[in-house]
Structure formats: structure tokens, C-alpha cells
């Protein structure tokens, strides 16, 4: 009856092939305790990390280990490739787009050398986080093996 009052569902795509795990299983308190927002993590099986939503690349860290995309409305999503990867000072990462670029969901953003990361980083597990500033009341999560582009979260 009051369908116009229902919150719009927004799909977030997997940025990479891999196994989705619950955010609480990330071996890093900042992510597992949802200090920067809620989401999922992916154990990546490939090195091309793509936009989980369409929008503007709002941030790419100078070390290329993480990026955020903001859609045209009220959703911002961060992809943080690996744990403690900022210490690698950009080694093992190649930026494919620049900050401020408009991207579609599924467009490649960062290429990472998973073999290098596996050897030099704490973990390659990749948190995909909906920032706390996003207007989200509920997140439905899909915890399974995914291909890049599969739906991993639906935000309401």
C-alpha cells in the first residue's frame, strides 16, 4: 500500500573472485569490530579489483592498497586490499584509474600481485566496507564463493 515509503535496495558487487567471509572473521580489530563500517571480506582468488558500485572514485590511497567509491546518492564503499598492506608502500599494486574518475560497477580499479602480497603482507583478505556515513539501515550478506560481479551485499 505504501510502497513509496520502502527503502530502495542497492546491490553491491564483488570486486574480485574469491571466497566471501563474515566481517567478524577478519584478523584485524578495526574491520572485525566494524569500526569503519559494516560489510564482508573476500579471500581473493584473482588480482584485479573492480568497482563494487557505480559512482565516483572518492579516494585511492597513495599506496594503492585501498579505494572508495561514492554513488550519486548516499552510498560509499571502501575496498581495502589485504591487511597491513599500507606498509608495502605501493609495491605489488598498480592503479588503473585516478581519484575523481567516474566508474561503472565492475570497472577495474586496482591490479594487485597476489603472490607478492601473500609473501609480504599480513593477509590478502580484502574487506569490502559500506562506510558509516552511508544511509543504510540493513545489509543482507551473501557468504559463498563468488566471481567478480556477483552480488555480495544488498543495502537497504
Active site residues: 80
C-alpha cell at 46: 584473482
**3-state percent breakdown (helix, strand, coil) of the chain, nearest 5:** 15, 40, 45
Q: CA 143: distance to chain centroid?
A: 14
Rounded Cα gap, residues 98 and 108, in angstroms? 11
138 touches 58 (CB < 8 A): no
Number of H helices, E strands in the chain: 2, 14
Q: Which residues, listed in sequence order, are joined to residue 21 by a DSSP beta bridge?
A: 41
Return the half-sphere exposure (C-beta side, CA atoms, 13 A cut-off) of residue 89. 0
Say how far apart CA 30 and CA 43 lie, in whole Å: 17
Amino acid at each position: 500500500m505504501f510502497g513509496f515509503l520502502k527503502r530502495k535496495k542497492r546491490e553491491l558487487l564483488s570486486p574480485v573472485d574469491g571466497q566471501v567471509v563474515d566481517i567478524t572473521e577478519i584478523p584485524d580489530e578495526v574491520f572485525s569490530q566494524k569500526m569503519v563500517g559494516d560489510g564482508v571480506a573476500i579471500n581473493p582468488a584473482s588480482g584485479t579489483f573492480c568497482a563494487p558500485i557505480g559512482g565516483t572514485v572518492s579516494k585511492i590511497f597513495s599506496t594503492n592498497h585501498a579505494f572508495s567509491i561514492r554513488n550519486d546518492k548516499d552510498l560509499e564503499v571502501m575496498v581495502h586490499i589485504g591487511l597491513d598492506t599500507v606498509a608495502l608502500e605501493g609495491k605489488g599494486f598498480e592503479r588503473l584509474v585516478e581519484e575523481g574518475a567516474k566508474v561503472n560497477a565492475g570497472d577495474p580499479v586496482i591490479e594487485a600481485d597476489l603472490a607478492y602480497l601473500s609473501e609480504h603482507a599480513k593477509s590478502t583478505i580484502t574487506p569490502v566496507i559500506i562506510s558509516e556515513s552511508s544511509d543504510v539501515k540493513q545489509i543482507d550478506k551473501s557468504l559463498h564463493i563468488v566471481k567478480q560481479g556477483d552480488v555480495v551485499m544488498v543495502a537497504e
